Amino acid sequence: MIIVVKKEARENQIDILTRWLEGQGIRVGRTEGNNQAILGLVGNTKSIDEEFISQFEIVESVRRVSEKFKRANRKFHPEDAVIDCNGVKIGGGHFAIIAGPCSVESEAQINEVAKAVQASGATLLRGGAFKPRTSPYDFQGMKGQGLELLEIAKAATGMPLVTEIMNADHLPLFENVDVLQIGARNMQNFELLKAVGRTNKVVLLKRGLANTLNELLMSAEYIMSEGNPNVIFCERGIRTFETYTRNTLDLSAVTALKEMSHLPVVVDPSHATGKANMVEPMAMAAAAAGADGLMIEVHNDPAHALCDGPQSLTPAQFDRVVKRVMAIREAVKATE
Ligand code: PEP
Ligand code: MN
């Protein structure tokens, strides 16, 4: 249920209403809309009588929200969320470019890639330390040591870090990580979602290989219901009958998610296509479709990458992608 409060309402009147609702066992979240407060009610609101609430002098309107996701719902928060990733903003017109290798492989590799992508305009550095691999015999990542190498690259460039967490027990190791990535395979690992929801770190939530948008929104709700509002969605392609590409990029997810939720949406054209030559056109299409950012895999030597080489761009290719993506953004803005 949401309650839109009249513009002229005084703070103490809003407090009285909030306290009354809390007395009924309802949790009340407040957001500021266009100069007026919006109260988002979560809990068993069935017992709350709309007629009764409407009679409070300060109440402009009362509406029931039928969707099961509440905190992630744009109805609770009409304006775009702007998420601050340790100084780098994303959402509400702020466009972020997350780039780096699939996996951290060595100090030289992560530093070289970090400096190159930053010079081309990347605003956040990615790199996997704990890798979810289909085969247990494949490279599993440098784990804790990989995180240390990421911290060295962060110190050298000042770029906030994005890296995947697979196990809540590892959280203490992620202290200097700015954005916790929940990978596609863990999108419905509810205990992990709840654990990152109890932190104050930004969470990049990737869509599962075969998950609906409603399920993705409910996963965001798991994180947010624990108190962490800093969630960013990532569309990274879904599994369909098509095998030419690694996955099928669902660009309509950008529009759909932004209609349903106020949270930012990033597109990952690398995992969506699995092919380096498709990253540029899909990145441009994502920017045109209104994505709030991109996540792109870049490697200094893709042919010898320990993970996801075929979809990794060289720094030179990445540089061109950023230029063309920015040109698309400018062209779209010019028509607004
Ligand atoms: C990754 O970002 O390297 C990754 C493993 O992505 P996904 O979870 O989308 O497969
Ligand atoms: Mn990868």
Percent share of the chain, pLDDT over 70: 100
pLDDT value at residue 32: 86
Structural tokens at position 310? 């075929």
Which run of H or E residues covers position 231?
A: strand 231-235
Which ligand is closest in space to the CA of residue 183? Answer: 1
* The pLDDT of residue 54 is above 80: yes
Cα separation, 12 vs 31, whole angstroms: 16
* The pLDDT of residue 98 is above 80: yes
Distance (angstroms) between ligand 1 centre and the Cα of 268 equals: 9
Q: Report whether residue 102 contacts ligand 1, using a CB cutoff of 6 Å.
A: yes
pTM higher than 0.85? yes
Give the confidence band of 249 by pLDDT, cuts at 50, 70, 90: very high
What is the secondary structure of 180-193 as a DSSP string? Answer: EEE-GGGTT-HHHH
The one-letter amino acid at 318: F
Report the residue among 138, 140, 268 best suited for mutation to probe ligand 1: largest number of ligand atoms under 8 A from its CB.
268
Ligand 1 atom with minimal separation from the 103 CA: 3
Nearest alpha-carbon partner for 83 in 233, 286, 235: 233
What radius of gyration, in Å, describes the C-alpha atoms of the chain? Answer: 21
E strand residue ranges, 101-223: 124-126, 161-164, 179-182, 202-206
Mean pLDDT (the chain) is: 97
Q: Report residue 248 CA to chain centroid gap.
A: 19
The one-letter amino acid at 127: G
Which residue minimizes the CA distance to atom 6 of ligand 1?
Answer: 183
Which residue minimizes the CA distance to atom 9 of ligand 1?
Answer: 184
Give the confidence band of 34 by pLDDT, cuts at 50, 70, 90: confident
Distance (angstroms) between ligand 2 centre and the Cα of 21 equals: 46
Least confident of 48-62, 85-99, 207-221: 48-62
Nearest alpha-carbon partner for 28 in 50, 43, 7: 43
Cα separation, 136 vs 29, whole angstroms: 44
pLDDT value at residue 33: 78
Q: Report whether residue 236 contacts ligand 1, using a CB cutoff of 6 Å.
A: yes
Do you know the residue count of the chain? Answer: 336
Cα separation, 186 vs 193, whole angstroms: 9
Ligand 1 atom with minimal separation from the 308 CA: 3
Q: Report whether residue 271 contacts ligand 1, using a CB cutoff of 6 Å.
A: yes
Q: Report residue 168 CA to chain centroid gap.
A: 18
Which ligand is closest in space to the CA of residue 311? Answer: 2
Cα separation, 325 vs 318, whole angstroms: 10
